[in-house]
Amino acid sequence: MSAAILSLAEAIERYVADGASVALEGFTHLIPFAAGHEIIRQRKRELHLIRMTPDLVYDQMIGMGCARKLTFSWGGNPGVGSLHRLRDAVEHGWPRPLELDEHSHAGMAAAFCAGAAQLPFGMLRGYIGTDLPAHNPNIRRVECPFTGEMLAAVPAINPDVTILHAQRADRAGNVAIDGIVGAAREAALAAKTLVVTVEELVDALPPAMNGIVLPHWVVGAVVPCRGGAYPSYAHGHYARDNAFYQRWDAIARERGSFLAWMEEHVLGTRDHHAFLARLQQEAA
Amino acid sequence: MSAAILSLAEAIERYVADGASVALEGFTHLIPFAAGHEIIRQRKRELHLIRMTPDLVYDQMIGMGCARKLTFSWGGNPGVGSLHRLRDAVEHGWPRPLELDEHSHAGMAAAFCAGAAQLPFGMLRGYIGTDLPAHNPNIRRVECPFTGEMLAAVPAINPDVTILHAQRADRAGNVAIDGIVGAAREAALAAKTLVVTVEELVDALPPAMNGIVLPHWVVGAVVPCRGGAYPSYAHGHYARDNAFYQRWDAIARERGSFLAWMEEHVLGTRDHHAFLARLQQEAA
Amino acid sequence: MSACTRDEWMTVAAARLLRDRSVCFVGIGLPSAACNLARLTHAPEIVLIYESGTIGTRPQVLPLSIGDGELAETAACVVPLPEVFSYYLQAGRIDVGFLGAAQIDRHGNLNSTVIGPYGAPKTRLPGAGGAPEIALHARQVFVMARATKRSFVERLDFRTSAGYLDGHGARARLGAAGGGPRAVITDFGMLAPHPQSEELQLVALFADASVEEARAAVGWPLGVADRIDTIAAPTALELDTLRALNARTREAHARPVRIPL
Amino acid sequence: MSACTRDEWMTVAAARLLRDRSVCFVGIGLPSAACNLARLTHAPEIVLIYESGTIGTRPQVLPLSIGDGELAETAACVVPLPEVFSYYLQAGRIDVGFLGAAQIDRHGNLNSTVIGPYGAPKTRLPGAGGAPEIALHARQVFVMARATKRSFVERLDFRTSAGYLDGHGARARLGAAGGGPRAVITDFGMLAPHPQSEELQLVALFADASVEEARAAVGWPLGVADRIDTIAAPTALELDTLRALNARTREAHARPVRIPL
């Protein structure tokens, strides 16, 4: 019932099976980069990746051939431009074709909420006048039994495993999140198993009252992992490395430069600590 | 756009019209007693009262003849027993008959959420095997367009006015709530107009981050009103007067003792300050 | 322990049913006392949720209402009520739900709505509250109710929440996710559903109660299990802990509250 | 102000459209600059909401992403993203939504999904994000996009979000609650929908732009309003404020970030 405290390698090995549906959530803030890199290191395959904003970490997993399908609502490099590896997969099937399950933010948020509530579908007043439903059979309509109005419906998202990054957990596995949370909490509660990497493991969480806490008995595993959101950020711990996001555009633009970078920095490092040390070395 | 800062008498006069649908929310905590008393003083009539847990304040309004209809999910004196005035209205039509729109907590919560989201209905997996739908045409069913499962549906609740009590507001009308919140936030966002009585008006709210804030542009009016939740409580300000809740059982049991108490304490006092002063006088 | 009351015995019996680390959706009254007694004795890591939104709360005294400040102050976190019902209860995260009722029938269906016809009630009761969905979604439900022929009835005046409906698998066929009322703790002992018929039958008696007492208190012909367990009297530790809890509670609730003038 | 760029002029023109106290749903890029310029000049009480859940935020520098820490630190509160979309946007609480796009057609419909066929794209774009529901629910939408014949097109490759659909009231008939794209701010001036046909037509030009320039940049035969306003050049205050904001932003984003080892 209580959360296990594991190393990242153990957690990914235990909970991310080939073919699983996996949501690494966190909206710009608290993106679980370390977990994504470990998935790449362990060469997981055929994953159904789920995430509102794929961001660099999904660009990396897609480019390294981990994914067969992507459920998403906005796939860019925020403030910079394209995710070149995502584009290459969709436009040219490299390194393998990628099936898309594409939504709007509002639709995907409704799907995560339904998942968290264990309802079979979510609804919204949305998708009117757009071509998305024509290309996604997962966007349907439902009639209000009181007014007759037709609303948009999306199936609940219930990932096999959701992975978050958070600022802290206590030793029982209670997890506390401060700051921008996106749909992370709903993705967490929607998951069959929840894994959370954290900046620090503490004896007792600060008093939360109305703050965001995931209680230990909904958490499958807690993984201590300093800097686990870098180059995204952890409010109160370190800032977003906007320059890295800008650099990524050049790294990922070509297959060769992408592969070389991943080989050296992710496959070539033992863990996230070694990854960060390599970057620091380069910066020095 | 910004919230007006009004006296309680002004706010009730301006926003609570005879015949209006009115939700005074707050779950045990932060029940807007002062506002309920002012509605009684102003002899509002034909109200459609909405509240998950009617509590003493609705017992008082119903007993004083303010209400024609009640939407609710649990109508007792918490930890004590019956609401005798609510019972008298339902069992004997005194002082006038009361139409009931009766739900479960889960159903009413879904209806408030739908109201806040401006969806026409809320849904839940609920009401299975109960007699409530047989007596309430507002409990219907909706079919999942993906799985075919039938779920319960309830129409959105959108009160003409929702009244809350909160710990503090700033001068722009931003309202901050700490502690147990129940469905107060959803009831607030579902309302056509929102009125909030507050313990204190401050120059600047403490930093909220992920706390509960109602931004000024969703607030119609802020009413400074110290002790406005008494005999309910305001976390960080004063405790619930459990003894009063117990005393109420005897006061409200008979029509005569109820009317005498209300005459003396509510109709016989100019405002909430005078009401509290009268009680303090009696306690001395 | 001679002076132990039946309410105390019921509370202790209910507490003993609770396993450490289980997640309980707690109501006010005897269930609240039972859950906190369990927490203060054999189940220190039990997780208590009150429908007011307090998750993992550890009150020093029992709340009078479901939303006392004590619950918020000692909680791991406080969430809006809609989330308690959708993200926790409906999502299937509750191991044990407690319910009481004015009436219970032989299949554990409960009435807390009305005595007499709904449209012209003899006695209007508080109503459903969280009960219908607790009854539906909790992995198991424990009912706590003192038994009389007026409360343990042949036929409910109103079915507020589902037990086993008409029995024989009717509940499961309707798609209810939770396991239903696995135990009814009452003031002579305990009833539990028969595995096939799902009719409540006597499975355990307090050490000083009898089958005759049980039959006399129940308004339907009460079936009796092949084996009737004896529920041991409260231990000194249980009784001391419960009484200390109740004493703290009485003292706290009697403390005069400053009128916020 | 001779050296003012067209991007600056667009930003200033958009900022001027924003009234004080209006509630704006802000996207990254030029809209974010325009909203914050308005806040720092004539609209100090404007309410800025970013879809990351930051409500009433007052950033000192422009965010690079929609969820920069700066937005959370200066917000009145931070709410989960599902609430931004349901309790704020869908609930009709947004006065102004900003959208950009890779393609726009004559009725203000937008494409940010794909160039070429959806199943075999020539260029895969980032996709919808918040756009479909911003387009639907905001009381008015302002579009900011530089014009070329490849972006202001006769026919969209994909309709990501609804403008006026085929015009002549089609949008309203479909039940869209918001008012649609009331203004398209582009690098020669501004387009707005014709009251009947709802076709975008030229209503204003930057002081140094011409109708010919506008027509050359638009991929459909551009209609022209009876009266074409001139958008005055940025004032010194506007330009100084915007440039200072951009300079602060560049400096902040260039500051090296400590690797969290």
Which residues of D are annotated as catalytic?
A: 51
- The span from the CA of D90 to the CA of D96, in Å, is 13
Q: How far is CA C82 from the centre of its chain?
A: 22
pLDDT in tens, D130-157: 999 999 999 999 999 999 999 999 999 9
Contacts of B228 by beta carbon, 8 Å cutoff, 6+ apart: B8, B32, B33, B34, B35, B165, B197, B198, B199, B234, B272
Q: Using the beta-carbon criterion (under 8 Å), do B102 and C128 form an inter-chain contact?
A: yes
Instruction: Round to the nearest angstrom and report the end-to-end CA distance of chain C.
Output: 47
Q: Which fold has domain C6-252?
A: Glutaconate Coenzyme A-transferase (3.40.1080)
Task: Kindly state the tokens that stand for A253.
Answer: 């633009």
Choose the closest CB to C124 out of B79, B87, B277. B87
pLDDT at A79: 87
* Residue stretches of chain A with pLDDT short of 70: 1
- A91: which chain D residues are within 8 Å (Cβ-Cβ)? 121-124
* Alpha-carbon distance A214 to nearest alpha carbon in chain C (angstroms): 9
Touching subunits of A (3+ CB pairs, under 8 Å) are B, C, D
C-alpha distances out from residue D144 to A277, B188, D11, D44, D137, Å: 42, 34, 9, 22, 18
Query: Which tokens hold the place of D222?
Result: 């551009």
At residue A142's C-alpha, the angle toward residues A137 and A143, to 5°, is 155
Give contacts of A 153-182 with C, CB under 8 A: 174
B72 and C127: CB-CB below 8 Å? Answer: yes
Residue B195: per-residue pLDDT: 98
Task: Write out the DSSP string of C204-232.
Answer: EEETT--HHHHHHH-SS--EEEEEEEEEP
Domain B4-104+158-283 has CATH 2.10.109.10: no
Q: Which residues of B touch C28 (CB under 8 A)?
A: 78-79
CA of D161 vs chain A CAs: smallest distance (Å): 5
Distance of CA B186 to the CA centre of its chain: 12
Chain A residue numbers touching C22 (CB-CB < 8 A): 1
On whether the CB atoms of residues A85 and A258 are closer than 8 A, the answer is: yes
- With a CB cutoff of 8 Å and minimum separation 6, the contacts of C172 are none
CB within 8 Å of C15: residues ≥ 6 apart: C34, C35, C37, C38, C41, C42, C43, C238
Cα–Cα distance, D17 to D10 (Å, whole number): 11
DSSP, collapsed to helix, strand or coil, labels residue A162 as strand
**Overall average pLDDT of the C30-56 stretch:** 96
CB contact under 8 A, D159 and A125: no
Q: How far does the CA of residue A3 sit from the closest CA of chain C (Å)?
A: 12
pLDDT of residue C133: 97
State the pLDDT at residue D255. Answer: 84
Please state the domain extents for chain D: 6-252
Q: Which DSSP string corresponds to B50-103?
A: E-SS-HHHHHHHHHTT-EEEEEES--EETTTEE-HHHHHHHHH--SS--EEEE-
CA distance B14 to chain D (A): 22
What are the tokens at A166? 């958070």
Q: Do at least 3 CB pairs under 8 Å connect C with D?
A: no
- Is the CB of C259 less than 8 angstroms away from the CB of B243? no
Burial class for B243, CB neighbours closer than 10 Å (0-12, 13-18, 19+): middle
Average pLDDT on C43-62 reads 95
The pair of structure tokens assigned to A10 is: 């153990």
Pick the closest to residue B29 from C50, C138, D122 (CA basis): C50
A66-125 per-position pLDDT tens digit: 999 999 999 999 989 999 999 999 999 999 999 999 999 999 999 999 999 999 999 999
- The nearest alpha carbon in chain D to A78 belongs to D65
Strands A161-170 and A193-202 turn out to be parallel
Count of A-B CB contacts under 8 Å: 72
- pLDDT on residue D2: 54
For the residues of B178-189, what is the DSSP string, one character each? -S--TTHHHHHH
Higher-confidence residue of D11 and D69: namely D11
pLDDT at residue D56 is higher than 70: yes
- The reply to whether residue D78 touches residue A181, judged by beta carbons under 8 angstroms, is yes
Q: B268 in contact with D at a CB cutoff of 8 Å?
A: no
Residue D153 backbone zone (phi > 0: left; psi -120 to 50: alpha; other: beta) = beta
Q: Are B108 and B72 in contact (CB under 8 A)?
A: yes
Give the C-alpha separation, B242 to B231, whole Å. Answer: 8
- Write down which chains contact chain B via at least 3 CB pairs under 8 A: A, C, D
Nearest Cα of chain C lies from the Cα of B89 at a distance, in angstroms, of: 10
A touches D, CB cut-off 8 Å, minimum 3 pairs: yes
The predicted model gives C210-236 an average pLDDT of 97
Query: Which residues numbered 36-55 in A keep a CB inside 8 Å of some CB on D?
Result: 52-53
Report residue D120 as tokens. Answer: 């075999």
From chain A, pick out residues whose CB is under 8 angstroms from the CB of C20: none
Contact partners, residue B221, CB within 8 Å, separation at least 6: B3, B4, B5, B6, B11, B14, B15, B193, B194, B195, B196
Query: Rounded to an integer, what is the distance from CA D246 to the centroid of its chain?
Result: 18
Return the pLDDT at D160.
Answer: 98
pTM for this entry: 0.98
List residues in chain C touching A: CB distance below 8 A.
21-23, 45, 47, 55-56, 72, 76-79, 86-87, 90-93
Q: Do A213 and C77 touch (CB under 8 A)?
A: yes
Is residue C64 scored above 90 in pLDDT?
A: no
Flag whether residue B82 sits within 8 Å of chain C, measured between CB atoms.
yes
Instruction: Tell which of D49, D85, D158, D246 to mutate to test the A interface (max A CBs under 10 Å).
Output: D85
Which residue has tokens 């009730």? B12
Higher-confidence position of C256 and B214: B214
Residue A187 and residue A23 in contact, taking contact as beta carbons nearer than 8 Å = yes
What CA–CA distance (Å, rounded) separates C135 from C108?
Answer: 10
Report whether pLDDT(D250) > 50. Answer: yes
In chain D, residues with a C-beta closer than 8 Å to the C-beta of A110 are 82, 85-86
To the nearest whole percent, how much of chain B has pLDDT over 70?
100
Q: Specify the pairing of strand D54-55 against strand D77-78.
A: antiparallel
pLDDT of residue C2: 53
Measured CA to CA, the distance from residue C80 to residue C84 in angstroms comes to 7
Q: Choose the mutation target among C85, C99, C134 for the interface with B, i.e. most B CBs under 10 Å.
A: C85
| Among the ranges given (C28-32, C199-203, D20-24, D218-222), the one the predictor scored with the smallest mean pLDDT | C28-32
Q: What are the tens digits of pLDDT across the range D154-174?
A: 999 999 999 999 999 999 999
Give the pLDDT band of residue C88 (cuts 50, 70, 90): very high
Q: Which two tokens stand for residue C131?
A: 């009960």
Interface test with D, best of B118, B157, B158, B205 (most D CBs within 10 A): B118
Query: Cβ contact (<8 Å) for C90 and B126?
Result: yes
Contacts of A2 in chain C (CB under 8 A): 21, 45
- A 10 A CB-CB count for B149 gives 14
Give the closest of D118, D126, D261 to A135, CB-based. D118
Confidence class for position B177, pLDDT limits 50, 70, 90: very high
| Residue contact B189–D91, C-beta within 8 A | yes
* pLDDT tops 70 at residue C128: yes
Q: How many Å apart are CA B88 and CA C119, to the nearest integer? A: 14
For C154-190, the pLDDT digits (tens) are: 999 999 999 999 999 999 999 899 999 999 999 999 9
Of B130, B241, B283, the CB nearest to C159: B130
Q: How far away is chain B from the Cα of D67, in angstroms, using its nearest Cα?
A: 14
- Tell which of C46, C73, C77, C139 to mutate to test the A interface (max A CBs under 10 Å): C77
Whether residues A129 and D128 touch (CB distance < 8 A) is answered with no
Contact in structure between B162 and B30 (CB atoms under 8 Å): no
Tell me which H or E stretch contains D200. Answer: strand D200-206
Distance from CA of D21 to the nearest CA of B (A): 7
Is the model's pLDDT at C27 over the cut of 50?
A: yes
Does the annotation count C73 as an active-site position? no
pLDDT > 60? residue B90: yes
Using an 8 Å CB-CB cutoff, list residues of chain D that contact chain B.
Answer: 21-23, 45, 47, 55-56, 72, 76-79, 86-87, 90-93
DSSP-derived 3-state class of residue D182? strand
Contacts of C260 in chain B (CB under 8 A): 226-227, 230, 234, 237-238, 276
B59 pLDDT exceeds 50?
Answer: yes
Contact at CB, D132 and A104, closer than 8 angstroms: yes
- The pLDDT value given to residue A11: 98
Query: In the numeric block, which tokens belong to residue C154?
Result: 């042949």
In sequence order, what are the residues at sequence separation of 6 or more whose Cβ sits closer than 8 angstroms to the Cβ of residue B84? B59, B249, B252, B253, B254, B258
Give the nearest partner residue to B135 out of C67, C118, C122, using CB atoms.
C118
CA of B187 to nearest chain C CA: how many angstroms apart? 11
Confidence bin at D1 (pLDDT 50/70/90) = very low
Can you tell me whether residue C83 is helix, strand or coil? helix
On the question of pLDDT at C1 being above 50, the answer is no
Which residue in the block uniquely carries the two structure tokens 């966190």? A26
- CA dist., res. C43 & res. B249, Å (int): 36
Tell me what the pLDDT averaged over chain A comes to.
97
pLDDT digits (tens, 9 = 90+) for D7-41: 999 999 999 999 999 999 998 889 999 999 999 99
